[in-house]
A and B are shown apart, each in its own frame.
Chain A
Amino acid sequence: MSAPLVVSSRVFGANDRITLAGIGMGGRGRSDLRAFLGFDEIQAVAVCDVVGRHAAEAKKNVDDRYGTTDCRVYTDHREVLAREDIDAVLIATPDHWHAIISVEAMIRGKDVFCEKPETLTIAEGQLMRETARRYGRVFSGGSQRVWGDYNWYHRMIQGGAIGEVREAWVNVGGPSGPCFLPEEPKPDDVDWDRWLGPAPWRPYHPTLIRGGFRPYRDYSGGGMTDWGCHGFGGALFACGLHRTGPVEITPPNGSDIEHLTFRFENGVRFHHGGGWGGLLSFRGTEGEIPDRTNPRHRPPAPNVLIPNYKGRGGIAGDFVHCVRTRELPFRDIEPAHRTATLCHLGNIAYWLDRPIRWDPKTERILGDAEAARWMDREDREPWAVA
């Protein structure tokens, strides 16, 4: 294999490669990294993780791919972002780090592929979108399922198979909650304070660094944002609502409202849970999908052309293509942020156990100061979104 031509400028010739660094190299991060390593257009040059063994494993993946030993390892993401020769970063840390690292990366001129859920709070998403637009950076969220797994639904709905869509059921897990895990001895290769970063201080527990952070509110929105960014992301896209948001979110009340329900301005309703189709079910004016009697059956969908990934190779290929061409990727920050926002609003309604109203244009919670308190959360000093 010939030596790669690595460029630090922001214009790519036919044979130039995009230099990439991976930040947050746990299981999901390494999986994403391996996907990017499959592209000839990518040259991974650095990996970063606060857990030594995660970083070491990722370095091995990179070095094995290129037959070299020069992939650099970092524990401080700021050192990675300070490197001027890096064009793009893959961010797969726990959710509570996404905004800080994404925004810093974009200010420094990097394009960003950030795993979902892209944000921990609504305000973070607003700052990320503002930064992406200010600096003209390519930002792709990491939900590969919205198109990759659910495109049959999109084709069926946008092809008119069920008439005008009226309701969707999205069957994903619930919100996150408090964390009371006990303290356990910290391994030497874990920089625990940095793992916590902007999150409230608490002692070490191994579950948290092994991907078990999702049930806890300080680091994640739970299943509601984890699979929610897939499932609700799919429902929003299928219904053409991925650049707006609901106007009312009503939690279940134990009587007439069985499931948390999002109502949109056009009358469409999304329900959190229920349905018959596994993760996703839709009802329109002229039918339902999937078939209730045989939910796994997928009859041929209308042959409509729906703009989706550009380039080749799924969502990672879409990002690679857009870094080169400066086009907007499929999971651009706008739909990514809107999807995460819907999930956050669902969580807020659950946490406070009361309906909330939302203005999708101004992106504000209406008439409920206590609910609005959850638009953002204070970062632990000295961390903050730039």
Chain B
Amino acid sequence: MNTRTIPTRRWPALVAAMLFLSGPALGDTLETDLQYAAAFADGSDPEAMVRIGNAVTEALNGPATERLKVEGQLLKALTNASTRPGRGFLCRQLRIIGTERSVAPLEALLTDPESSHMARYALAAMEYPAAGAALHRALGKSSGAVQAGIVDSLAGRRHRDALDDIAALLSSSDSRVGASAARALGFFGGNKAVRALNHARTGASSSMIQTIDNALLRCADQFLAANRRRRAANLFNRFFTGPYPPSFRRAGLRGIAAARGAEAVPTLVQAVRDASPDLQVEAIAILGSMSEPAAAEALTRLLDSPPNALELIIRALGSRGHTPALAPITRLLGHDQSRVRLAALEAVGSLGDTGIASTLAEAAATSEGHEQQIARISLQQLRGGQETDRLLAASLPDSEGSLQAEIIRALANRGAHEVVAPAIQFARADDESVRRESIRALGLLAGENQLPELIALAKAPEIESDQASIESAIGSVFARVPSPADRAAPVLAALPDSAPDGKAVLIRLMSKAATAETLRTARKALASPNETVRNAAVRTLADWPDPGPIADLRALAMTDSSKTRKVIALRGYIRLASATEDPEAMYRDAAAIAERPDEMKLILAGLGKSGSSRSLDLIDQSLENEALRNEAASAAAQIANRHGTDGNQTEALRSTLRTALAATTHNGIRRQVENALKTLD
């Protein structure tokens, strides 16, 4: 099933219908369909089951009388059901529509190993107390896995009336039943459940003990939820201090913290100082997650811990934003263990403000790799707002090299407009990293007012390799200037006194500042005696956002003296074809011009999206070409999906698809074609 399709109404029926082949109607009425369902065998035609499913949904949402009528028919079929799949199917329908009337017939199936699960599937979901009572009655009539399942269902319903009977099953000789009973008591909770679980724990197997202990912890959580804190704390404390596996001791410690709040802090600190490594880690994590200030203060005092714990303590303090820990954590930025340094770098980013800015900038400038990345993020998120920005900007003139670059980067990332003016200046700096960050900053933050300076920079960059990034920065600024005329004005203004190379840059920018005037200018540049300018003109027309230059591009694709420009023009023509009133005609025209498979592939992709059976001749030809057959096959499948059943071209489409099926070498496209053929059939 394609899992990324557009949803439609009636998904259930649609999904079901997708799963099987269509066949003759198996019954005209629900009654007939239900007779069929009662004897259903896996592999039989399921069409009747789909109809029943639809009828059940409709009855559920219809008048009560209709619901009861359908339920009655389902129950009658269930009584007569002769197969396991048939009974299972009917139970599923009763889960949806069943009322209290269904309880007794479903109860009758609970003790049958073959039917018990599906009876529970229906019964346990029902909101009626009678359903719980039925499950309770079946408890004493069952054994083994069936009994275990019934216990689980009673637990799911929190059917407390069964607590005593379930508690008695804790000592069952069947481990499955015992485990279910223990789980159930955990869900019930309360003193009675705890007593029964404690009693059963003595002499139990190790796997049963684990189940009991989990149930006891669930009971403790319920005491906590009921605000019986002392009762909860006692139970949790037993797990923390007793001879339990690490997982349960950790859970005990968590529970103590939840139940006792700030009073638990000394216990947690003790665990960090003295406990086994796993409890130490847990205690730190718990202290980090507690809302009480005492927990954060305790963590700060623990900053003298060994490196493994220290890293976690720093992270915990950073996550909870405990600013008093900033100074001691800042001192750890020079720690000899990188994991501690990294944690400290991250933490100061969330705890610090203006005062730490220059330290972080220095760290970003002198580190590399992951450490540098962390330092940069910390600098970006540093609090202090404009005060931090002003301080960083003020330090720019006195810094140099990588430090200067990092400050520019940080200011840009922080969205600080203070960086724009210096960045214009530093975009011509000698240091490559300073230039790179300055140009990037301008792309992020410069506005319409800076366009003349940016354009001047683009016309004459400090070094040629900056050209692309400057043009990209201008493109970003353009994206923030809504009016094409406002984008075009500084470009056109810079044109008259430009040398050919500079002129070429400006013309390249015109496709992003498309107006009637820039289009006229770009067209005019096609006749320039300078080849660089001519190249730029063709490129900008090929990138034009609307079909305005489509005729120019067609002419260039046919007649230009340069092969490269012909290809660029043709590609532009093909791209713009999709925005015209009759794309298919344009694609067909482009096909007559195209000389290379690469452009034909673009044309076929376009025909796939907007072609019709009118283009089957072109697709048939392409299917014969080894370089194009996959694209042609895909286009045929797409056309068939759109127009397969329209008009009188179905046979022609089928023929093309059959050829495509034989021609394609791509498995995914083969499936596309097969599906398209099925649609036609």
Contacts and interface: CB of A to CB of B under 8 A. Distances in A.
B413 A303 contact: yes
Interface in A1-33: 9-14
A360 to B, nearest CB: 19
Contacts of A11: 277-278, 280-281, 308-309
B584 to A, nearest CB: 20
A254 interface: yes
20 contacts: A10-B281, A11-B277, A107-B247, A130-B218, A130-B221, A136-B282, A175-B15, A179-B19, A202-B85, A223-B3, A252-B9, A254-B9, A325-B312, A353-B57, A378-B117, A378-B152, A381-B117, A381-B145, A381-B148, A382-B148
A312 interface: yes
B4 interface: yes
B622 interface: no
B457 interface: no
A151 to B, nearest CB: 15
B286 A136 contact: yes
B27 interface: no
A377 B254 contact: no
Given A11-B308, A303-B444, A381-B117, A369 B127 contact: yes
A108 B412 CA distance: 48
Nearest to B214: A107
Given A215-B19, A300-B443, A382 B176 contact: yes
A66 B485 CA distance: 62
Given A136-B285, A384-B152, A384-B183, A351 B12 contact: yes
Contact of B246 (A109, A181, A302): A109
Given A173-B1, A174-B14, A325-B312, A180 B7 contact: no
B217 interface: yes
A370 to B, nearest CB: 6
Given A123-B156, A200-B121, A326-B284, 9 more contacts: A10-B278, A10-B281, A173-B3, A178-B46, A222-B1, A303-B412, A303-B415, A354-B60, A382-B176
Interface in A35-91: none
A134 B254 contact: yes
B217 A134 contact: yes
B2 interface: yes
B19 A177 contact: yes
A208 to B, nearest CB: 12
B331 to A, nearest CB: 20
B295 to A, nearest CB: 15
B312 A378 contact: no
Contact of B42 (A177, A202, A254, A380): A202
Interface string A363-386: 000000110111011111110101
Interface stretch (B88-96, B524-532, B660-668): B88-96
A82 B399 CA distance: 59
A273 interface: yes
Interface of B: 1-12, 14-16, 18-20, 42-44, 46, 49-50, 53, 57-58, 60-61, 84-85, 88-89, 92, 95-97, 116-118, 120-121, 124-127, 145-146, 148-149, 152-153, 156, 176, 179-180, 183, 210-211, 214, 217-218, 221, 245-247, 250-251, 254-255, 276-278, 280-282, 284-286, 307-309, 311-312, 315, 319, 337, 339, 343, 370, 377, 380-381, 412-413, 415, 443-444, 476, 479
A13 B308 contact: yes
A377 B43 CA distance: 25
B210 A107 contact: yes
Nearest to A202: B42
A381 B309 CA distance: 44
Contacts of B127: 369, 372-373
Interface residues of A, number: 76
Instruction: In the A-B complex, list the 4 residue pairs whose CB atoms are closest, starting with the nearest.
Output: A381-B149, A182-B43, A223-B3, A109-B247
A286 interface: no
A381 B85 contact: no
Contacts of B14: 174
Contacts of B312: 325-326
B308 A260 contact: no
A337 B315 CA distance: 25
A134 B285 CA distance: 13
B57 A351 contact: yes
B37 to A, nearest CB: 11
Interface in A126-180: 130, 133-136, 171-180
Interface of A: 9-14, 107-109, 123, 130, 133-136, 171-183, 200-203, 214-215, 222-223, 226-227, 251-254, 259-260, 272-274, 279, 299-300, 302-303, 305, 312, 325-327, 350-354, 369-370, 372-374, 376-382, 384, 386
Contact of B319 (A302, A327, A374): A327
Contact of A12 (B20, B96, B145, B308): B308
Contacts of A254: 9
A353 B251 contact: no
A376 B156 contact: yes
A250 B413 CA distance: 42
Contacts of B3: 172-173, 214, 222-223, 226-227
Contact of B1 (A171, A214, A369, A378): A214
Contact of A353 (B12, B176, B280, B370): B12
Given A178-B16, A183-B43, A350-B11, A305 B381 contact: yes
B315 A327 contact: yes
A123 B281 CA distance: 30
A160 to B, nearest CB: 11
Nearest to A198: B117
Contacts of A222: 1, 3, 15
A177 B15 contact: yes
B7 A203 contact: no
Given A299-B479, A325-B315, A176 B15 contact: yes
Most buried by B among A183, A303, A354, A369: A303
B3 to A, nearest CB: 3
A9 B121 contact: no
Contacts of A214: 1, 3
B5 A173 contact: yes
B42 A182 contact: yes
A223 B5 contact: yes
A201 B53 CA distance: 20
Contacts of B377: 305
B646 to A, nearest CB: 24
Contact of B245 (A109, A226, A312, A378): A109
B183 A386 contact: yes
Nearest to B338: A14
Contacts of A372: 127
B137 to A, nearest CB: 17
Given A350-B11, A378-B120, A180 B148 contact: no
A139 B163 CA distance: 33
A210 to B, nearest CB: 13
Most buried by A among B50, B116, B280, B308: B308
A251 B13 CA distance: 14
A296 B46 CA distance: 42
